[in-house]
Chain A
Amino acid sequence: MKRTIPLLITAIGGFVLVFAYFSPYTEDWGEKTMIWFDVIAAIAFVLGGGNLLKIHLKKTSDQAEGWGYSVITLLAFGITLLVGLLKIGVNPSPQFPHFAWSGEYRENGSPFWWLYEFAFKPLTATMFSMLAFYIASAAFRAFRAKNLEAILLLGTAFIILLGRTFAGVWLTDWMPEALSGLKIDNLTVYIMKVFVTTGNRAIMIGIALGIASMSLKVLLGVDRSYLGSGQE
């Protein structure tokens, strides 16, 4: 029973979405199915939030290694949740002029805006900017000329990297019009348009077929590994 009902829900939900794609008249059914998923995901968020609190409260109470970070996590979670739930605005709204904080909670100067602008955005930008350094270190390792394939990869990468900079354009600018195809910037465009697109399409076709096959297995209940043991 624990497996049969989820399998039925999966199959019905999946086939409704497939049917809705081909039948415009049933588009609404597909949209409703997706709304049900959103409802379930929203309920599940309580589970996630509860789990987060449980882990970090335990870590704090046990004073385990790094428990200070758990305190910060709990504080950040609590403050953000409170600010989000209370929807504290800056000015009174026209509907409720007697309540000083009843205005739009996302407008400039509100606590929500403040958290977003001065906590969330800088932290996210910091994490994202680290990517530049990781790209450099990964490229250094990937482009080692160990064998013929690696040399080809290195050469191609060199042309593309150079072609995307001003130096690349400038270096081969002197070439006559008859040899314009050999200019580094044009070579870059050619490689990206022909070789990269071809490789990408081959991978995309494989992915599309894989997704279709996997989806069918899940809808038909052939693959049930995501459902657990089924024991009560």
Chain B
Amino acid sequence: MNNGLDAPYPTLTRLTQLSFRLSRAIMCLAVLPAIACLAASVAMAQGPAPVTNLQSADHPWDGGDNADLTWEVSADDATLVESYFIYKAMMQKGPIPADLLTESERKYALVDVVPAGTTEYTVGSVPGSGYVRLKDLSDEQRALFDPNDLPDKPHKKITVELGYLFKIVAVGSDGSQSVETITAAPYSPTRQWFDAKRMYLLIITIIFGGSVVFFIQHARAGKDLKIRKIGGLAAVDEAVGRATEMGRSCMFIPGILDMNDIQTIAGMTVLSRVAKTAAEYDAKVEVPTCRSLVMTSARETVQAAYLSAGRPDAYNADFIYYVTDEQFGYVAYLQGNMVREKPAACFYMGAFYAESLILAETGNSIGAIQIAGTAMPAQLPFFVAACDYTLIGEEFFAASAYLSGEPEQLGSLKGQDVGKIIVGIGIIVGVTIATLAAWFVDTGFLTTWSEYIKGVILT
């Protein structure tokens, strides 16, 4: 190639060309990394590649409020991605599609942030069914329902299937975000027949229940079972006897909860004994109740006790009566009654709340002998401070077995001891695992079990 410069200065021209090429090569060398950097920064600005193949599936063995998500990691998982943000949104309510739901209902909420490399996650709190009220539905929404499914009254509930969409966003270390990946269609978790999270409790229940039944059968077979003396229960006869001597009545208060509370039932078993002793001594037992069903049960119990004492004629249903369901109304009545009638013995057996101390102190001020039994831990100190005898927690539940003296009932107490052994072993094993897991942090096995105990069993 001759450009007219070569002819007079051939050597110089060649040198010039060489230097030109050299400088162009150097420029290329300098520009290429810059272009690469620019390309990379553009890529960074766009964010990492999104996750792919995001699927939602039912979480096995649960209450129908969890969904399992699986996905394939972003193509930039190893380089740019720092974490994945997981979101959920309700997108279907029975026949109501997403576009007819309110803005707040279908808004995506952040569920969790998981580190790069994660390919699965279980989303909680996504119940597969819920309800809507007729009055809350718009005309457009109402038209989507089968008219036969609609209730006759506006405040009534309609059970509907709830569907959810999930989305994942890959987030880079600089905060850049990938394009959203959303599940294909709304998903609704289903309830299973068994909740695997409660498996450990089922095993304990079977062992504990089995041991109680075993020892009941054992006792029925005629084996001798001993029970330690419970001061509060031994004092029941003494208290009724004292009331008889003084010519005053006994007052029995079965707590303020209804018959569906186990403490009230336990109270009834003590009432049975108190009434029987009173029937034998010809003392008066007054039972003011806070619930109508408790009144009915107490009447049956006292009547049976008088019958078994051989004094059915002495039974008077009017001594067992209903006062009010209101906690402090009931307390006001009892206080007034105590101060006016001055019963010689007061029994507080059942579930109590703030009224425990008011009652026990009033009883104390009138000089009554007082025996209390409850399984409300917060009220126990008050009863201990103000009563002569207190049945603490399990003693209260052991009362029926103790008072009846029936071998099969005593057998249940032996079964309870097996429960205590299980609890003791559980505490020792749990504490050991947690301690070792704290010492040897890197041990996967111990850490997993420690997390399981804390996250599942203790929650």
Contact = CB atoms under 8 A, between A and B. Distances in A.
Nearest to A135: B357
Interface residues of B, number: 84
A47 B294 CA distance: 11
B195 interface: yes
Given A48-B295, A206-B393, A229-B303, 6 more contacts: A24-B192, A123-B332, A207-B394, A220-B216, A226-B265, A226-B300
B361 A212 contact: no
A195 B404 CA distance: 36
A138 B361 contact: yes
A56 to B, nearest CB: 10
B87 interface: no
A66 B360 CA distance: 24
Contacts of A45: 292, 325
Which applies to chain A's interface (DSSP): helix, strand, loop or mixed?
A: helix
A216 B214 CA distance: 12
A37 B291 CA distance: 13
A41 B292 contact: yes
9 contacts: A22-B195, A123-B329, A135-B357, A210-B393, A211-B262, A225-B269, A226-B301, A229-B307, A229-B308
Contacts of B81: none
Contacts of A226: 259, 265, 268-269, 272, 297, 300-301
A225 B272 contact: yes
Contacts of A137: 361
A225 B400 contact: yes
B399 to A, nearest CB: 9
Interface in B306-340: 307-308, 318, 321-329, 331-332, 340
A93 B213 CA distance: 60
Interface stretch (B19-27, B412-420, B438-446): B412-420
B262 A138 contact: no
B151 interface: no
A118 interface: no
Contacts of A203: 377, 380, 392-393
Contacts of B357: 131, 134-135, 138
B176 interface: no
Given A128-B328, A216-B212, A209 B293 contact: no
A218 interface: yes
Contact of A128 (B260, B354, B393): B354
Interface of A: 18, 21-27, 34, 37, 40-41, 44-49, 51-52, 55, 66, 120, 123-124, 127-128, 130-131, 134-135, 137-139, 141-142, 200, 203-207, 209-218, 220, 222-223, 225-231
Given A45-B292, A51-B322, A213-B415, A205 B303 contact: no
A47 B262 CA distance: 22
A124 B332 CA distance: 9
Nearest to A204: B377
Q: Across chains A and B, which 6 residue pairs bring their CB atoms closest together, nearest first?
A: A228-B300, A48-B292, A210-B397, A229-B304, A24-B63, A206-B394
A5 B203 CA distance: 30
Interface string B258-270: 1110100110110
Contact of B409 (A18, A51, A223): A223
B358 interface: yes
Contacts of B307: 229, 231
Nearest to B63: A24
A35 B318 CA distance: 30
B423 A205 contact: yes
Nearest to A77: B324
B73 interface: no
Given A44-B293, A203-B392, A222 B397 contact: no
